[in-house]
Structure 1
């Protein structure tokens, strides 16, 4: 065990040639994911929202910032949920005052979804200080360091997005 309570090598294997620093990087990445999941849980709890609700708000804020409109079907597709579940989610967010339904600007038959100003203020109040701390840390990196971190994270995303047909020999099926 190391100072953070990690088993040496975790599930990355017991290969004696495995780089200790590489395992340390992966353990730090795992610690970050655990911290991020805990933050998301605290946010959902403080805003009295489920994970899909918070994700829906995020997508609506992004669409609004980009000048795009979001129809319920578009949001349902983004969230990967059925139209029945989408209706329930929209009703819940409308009832809680987080979003509103509005007529589509060019299609009289369609509705669009928009986050309310109060919702924007609530999210900023709940997450603002944490986002500032994260931005300050990222801004403290030199241009070269930032490029290395971005490249690393992009490569890690690609590694996770790759679907393997069969697990590697001797590898653990757990992740």
Structure 2
């Protein structure tokens, strides 16, 4: 098994002096999240956009790549924001040249929100290197290691989802 780098911190060792692998895994997860957060902040700053704007643009590009179209209500649902907030968001993205409104192809009363070719290029330029480096790391995993990582992250996501739904579950259950 590969060694786990703890930067000499005794915090990650148990009372018997042995490395606490569970704590080291969680620390590594926090380190990854901190690096990802810092990168996203840098990306937002370089693109002059807020977090919700970036999330919306990435969603619109993903939907477009799948051959589908996005109505404002779909964007509201994805982002979990009100229709008024969605309208303001779309207005900002239109003004900055990242998206445009087009007539809905089958509903004359509606519009779709379409990312511009320039925004696709900007996102690819800004995030492409990061995505390539991350893919190279993932591609370096064996099939078994990939299975373990995917299973672990899925179970972690389920644990967090359970906490979001039942935040007091453990503290109110009898011992």
Which position in structure 2 is the counterpart of 1:143? 143
- The equivalences for 1:61-140 within 5 A come to 61-140=61-140
Q: CA deviation at 1:165?
A: 4.5
8 Å contact kept, 2:76–2:82: yes
| Structure 1 counterpart SS, 2:11 | coil
- Superposed CA offset, 1:30-76 (max 9, x none): 00000000010000000000000000001101111222211111101
The reply on whether 1:8 has 2:7 as its aligned counterpart is no
Which position in structure 2 is the counterpart of 1:173? none
Calculate the TM-score normalised by the size of structure 2.
Answer: 0.86
List alignment gaps of at least 5 residues for structure 2. Answer: 1-5
Whole-angstrom distance in 1 between the partners of 2:130 and 2:142: 21
- Structure richer in helix, relative to its length: 2
Q: How many residues align?
A: 163
Whole-angstrom distance in 2 between the partners of 1:167 and 1:109: 46
Which position in structure 1 is the counterpart of 2:25? 25
Whole-angstrom distance in 1 between the partners of 2:144 and 2:155: 16
Q: CA deviation at 1:139?
A: 0.3
Change (3 A) 1:49 1:165: closer
| Structure 2 counterpart SS, 1:106 | coil
Whole-angstrom distance in 1 between the partners of 2:167 and 2:140: 41
Q: CA deviation at 1:124?
A: 0.4
8 Å contact kept, 2:14–2:20: no
List alignment gaps of at least 5 residues for structure 1. Answer: 170-175
Whole-angstrom distance in 2 between the partners of 1:27 and 1:89: 35
Whole-angstrom distance in 1 between the partners of 2:8 and 2:101: 48
Q: CA deviation at 1:91?
A: 0.6
Q: Where in structure 1 do 4 or more consecutive aligned residues deviate above 4 Å? A: 14-19
Calculate the TM-score normalised by the size of structure 1.
Answer: 0.86
Bigger shift: residues 22-31 or 66-75: 66-75
Change (3 A) 1:4 1:31: farther
